[in-house]
Chains A and B, each alone.
Chain A
Amino acid sequence: MNETRKPLLQVKDLKQHFPITSGALLQRQVGAIRAVDGISFDVYPGETLGIVGESGCGKSTTVRSISQLYKPTSGSVIFNSVDLVKADKRTMLKARRDIQMIFQDPYASLDPRMTVRSIIAEPMVIYNNRRLLEKPMSSLDIERRVEELMERVGLNKAFKNRYPHEFSGGQRQRIGIARALALNPKIILADEPVSALDVSIQSQILNLLGDLQKEFGLTYLFIAHDLAVIQHISTRVAVMYLGKIVEISEAVDLYDNPLHPYTTALLSAAPIPDPKVERERKRIILSGDVPSPDKERTGCYFYDRCPKKMPWCSCHIPPMFSKGPKHQVACWLYDEKDYSNISLEQAQAST
């Protein structure tokens, strides 16, 4: 990516905490789930930024906070020089026309009582009624646009009066994609768009998304837990763990040269569909589970499961260290100073 280009979307220190309340009447807040705990990244026009991580690491919350489906706790989301977090509702709605989402579950994300035509037309109808479109659309325009979109994503336009239950999973995902394209967005936030699909359908949808990106110059923020899918589609990749980005880099660089111990473990755990390669590979098996994100941490978020942990990591949160021009990693192993000889007492004393 050309660094001099202006980023299309800037996320700065975004935090999304969900309160945990207790008590029947007074609903005191007793804690918070720190789903996203301070992440920053830029997305440049025309690229695909992939976000990987295990369940509960805050991938989906990140995209939902960006599209303002959740009001972020703090931080800013700057899209086209407008800070969506602070903007008033009308400005936010106007900016959000260019940000569309594709959801994971094609069974739950389409209203079963709406026909395909009304599902795809809905964003246009809403923005038309709110007078937020540059050029008002007549119902005939909308109808034409629906047909055009259906053909583009590979659906027969004769099916526009059908209901979602009449379609298979892959076709439903195509309906979701047509709906996301309806307003000519600049960026599409795709939240695990292929993980609910079968292998043969998955490759159809991935190819479709690739074609659409070339044709319309779209930018994607693509979430998946499947590392091979992410590698296939992304220009850059961010790895998340427990609400933090632990490593962000160009895709090629990340897969060839993973730096963070979590990324290394994640890559080695993902199975490769080739028995020869798979059996000779050395696998790093992490012990334990992802801890609950409900407490404030003072050390590295990965400390409990890290195979290379040092006493220093238990009480210092690592900042992002730059390794190479476009490769950043949040791990104390990559600081210039060597922390491996520092004892726990010394480390605690220096906090």
Chain B
Amino acid sequence: MSIKADAKVVLEVKDLKTYFKTDAGIVKAVDGVSFTVREGETIGIVGESGSGKSVTNLSLMRLIPSPPGKIVGGEVLFEGKDILKLSEREMRSIRGNNISMIFQDPMTSLNPFLKISTQMVETICLHNKDVSKKEALKRSIEMLKLVGIPSAEKRIQNYPHQFSGGMRQRVMIAMALSCNAQVLVADEPTTALDVTIQAQILELIDKLSTKMGAAVILITHDLGVVAGMCDQVCVMYAGRIVEKAGTEELYARPSHPYTEGLIKSVPRMDTTKKGNRLFSIDGQPPNVIDLPPCCPFHPRCHKALPVCKGAYPPIKNLGNNHEVACWLYCSEEEQTQALNTAKESAQ
């Protein structure tokens, strides 16, 4: 798997900002995120809880509850169109048809009162007005067979609680793919599942997305899942992308101290020797309310420079499509200049 640099760009996110207004202040959940998704590519978004992974993707689908949330800036270009400017009606035709989503918890994202058949037929009929209910049911059964649900004809008449966790996630995948979406957003699709089931579901997502030519945005906190699935990885911290690179490049040369710490702090089955202390990043992830204009990682960083407290680092390209937002990769002139501007604005 390599980055398909020549493939068509399906989705382009430019400087996306989503803020939430709370009593305590403005929460900058997503603060200037940019990435590109190409046809047939799997892009991974990794980060800890609260880093803004899910909000980024809910923003793409325009599913941010408003108020309190608001997309305050940026563009999301889907096939050249800015979907943030579309009307709610136009947006609805994009959701499901073009961009589709798999949620983390398959129990709460299916309606427990409705049969699987009702829910699937509803999805298909809503998006393709000219499909009859009978055809939609036939299509749903085909989709369930495709995701590997045994005796799909009978099982489609069941309710969600009659399925196990893994089976429910399969139903969700079947629903998400039933309208031939070009982009599939999978928000922690396997976090609630066991390892053996996780392996089944990941293989399924990989197989089906290749078959249907869909691009996948995979949100996860599991670095192992990313290593196996993704072509490109974005590492998020406190609402920003701190590092972006091809998967192999990122694991071979993690450049941001946060990425480095993250990779080192996970015990590995193949190399970690027992008894050694694990590398650990001290401290807690920051509160994203009213962050000062500095690198949000500097209090926990083991390589922090004086400039890190003063200003947010610019994004540097290290070559090979490897981008990192860290002062370590900036020249001294840039650092002193940034420090001076920070001092001036403080006075």
Name A residues whose Cβ lies closer than 8 Å to a Cβ of B: 54-55, 168, 170-171, 198-204, 206-207, 210, 225, 227-229, 231-235, 251-252, 255, 265-279, 283, 285-287, 289-290
Contacts and interface: CB of A to CB of B under 8 A. Distances in A.
B314 interface: no
Nearest to B192: A55
Contacts of A290: 194
B213 interface: no
30 contacts: A55-B194, A168-B284, A171-B284, A198-B48, A199-B266, A200-B281, A200-B285, A201-B48, A203-B267, A203-B281, A207-B277, A207-B280, A228-B267, A232-B278, A235-B274, A266-B196, A269-B195, A269-B198, A270-B269, A271-B198, A271-B224, A272-B269, A272-B270, A273-B226, A274-B268, A275-B227, A275-B247, A276-B248, A283-B203, A290-B194
B74 interface: no
Contact of A289 (B164, B195, B224, B270): B164
Given A200-B280, A285-B200, A286-B200, 17 more contacts: A199-B223, A199-B262, A200-B285, A202-B265, A203-B266, A232-B274, A235-B274, A252-B274, A255-B269, A266-B195, A269-B199, A271-B222, A271-B228, A272-B268, A273-B224, A276-B248, A279-B227
Interface of A is mostly: helix
A200 B228 CA distance: 21
A200 B237 CA distance: 12
B32 interface: no
B225 interface: yes
A60 to B, nearest CB: 14
Size category of the B interface is 35 or more
Interface string B167-209: 1000000000000000000000000001111111001000000
Nearest to A273: B223
A260 B60 CA distance: 45
A266 B194 CA distance: 10
B97 to A, nearest CB: 31
Contacts of A231: 267, 269, 272, 274
A285 B203 CA distance: 9
Contact of B266 (A204, A228, A234, A286): A228
- What 6 pairs between A and B have smallest CB-CB spacing? A271-B224, A232-B267, A273-B223, A203-B265, A54-B194, A269-B199
Nearest to A206: B278
B138 to A, nearest CB: 26
Contact of B199 (A207, A235, A277, A283): A283
B228 A279 contact: yes
